[in-house]
Amino acid sequence: MPRPYTKRTRATREAATRRRIIDATIALHESLGGPATTISAIAARAQVSRVTVYRHFPDEWALLAACTGTYLQEHRPPDPGAWAIVPDVQVRLRLALAELYPFYRQSQGLLARADQELPTNPILRDVLAGYVEAVGAMREVLAAGWPTEDAALLRAAVGHAVAFATWHSLAVEQGLSDTQAASLMERLVRATADATTATSEGPWATDH
């Protein structure tokens, strides 16, 4: 005798369909980019109809928000709050980059697409505003406490170190390992702090 159809069964099927649409969209955005990803392509990859896609996600904002939220939930970027409690600024930076750069490597396909499309896609900018703010928070946490007389320049050096574009240039274009890239950026920030400190008797001063 067939099992009776229940609301729970329907909800489970709807959730599975929604997840297939999200997974299909993420895969297409990574391989083709947002502008080249059509509703028809999403429907075909998810094995649903266009109507079903629109029923779950009536507009681009809803679809992008669901995809971004799902991806970042399952591939969480590091939490800068955990770094803030580390008192040594060099150790803090080293720890942060050791966590951040592997995240960038794991997520490089989607992040590279996002970097390309953010300037021309206001919906994507809105959806990713929280992530962009989180990267800014990383910069503020990591720039605090360095001995310097030019805080803006130091913040710029740290901001450069935590930027995805920096990691991409060093790790993908130049072929460095994450460890090598992190070490290079740590040296950059240290050199910036040294160059913007009035006295040479700082924590990284060397004898001449």
Residue-wise pLDDT for 87-110, tens only, equals 999 999 999 999 999 999 999 999
pLDDT of res. 9: 86
- In this structure, the answer to whether residues 16 and 86 fall within a common structural domain is no
Confidence check: pLDDT of 196 > 70: yes
Q: How many angstroms separate the CA atoms of 170 and 59, rounded?
A: 37
- Domain assignment present for 204: no
**Helix, strand, or coil (residue 200):** coil
Q: Write the pLDDT tens digit of every residue in 9-35.
A: 888 899 999 999 999 999 999 999 999
Q: How many domains does the chain have?
A: 2
What range defines the domain where residue 20 resides?
A: 7-58
- In this structure, the answer to whether residues 42 and 103 fall within a common structural domain is no
User: Which carries the bigger pLDDT value, residue 49 or residue 206?
Assistant: 49
CA-to-CA dists, residue 7 to 4, 17, 119, 125, angstroms: 10, 15, 43, 37
Choose among 59, 58, 55, 68: nearest CA to 25. Answer: 68
Q: How many angstroms separate the CA atoms of 77 and 162, rounded?
A: 12
- Domain assignment present for 202: no
Q: Write the pLDDT tens digit of every residue in 31-84.
A: 999 999 999 999 999 999 999 999 999 999 999 999 999 999 999 999 999 999
Confidence check: pLDDT of 150 > 90: yes
- In this structure, the answer to whether residues 185 and 92 fall within a common structural domain is yes
pLDDT of res. 206: 46
Which amino acid makes up residue 115? D
- In this structure, the answer to whether residues 36 and 98 fall within a common structural domain is no
- Quote the percentage of the chain above a pLDDT of 90: 87
Helices (H), the chain: 7-32, 39-46, 50-56, 60-74, 80-84, 89-106, 108-117, 122-127, 129-143, 151-162, 164-167, 178-195
pTM of the model: 0.86
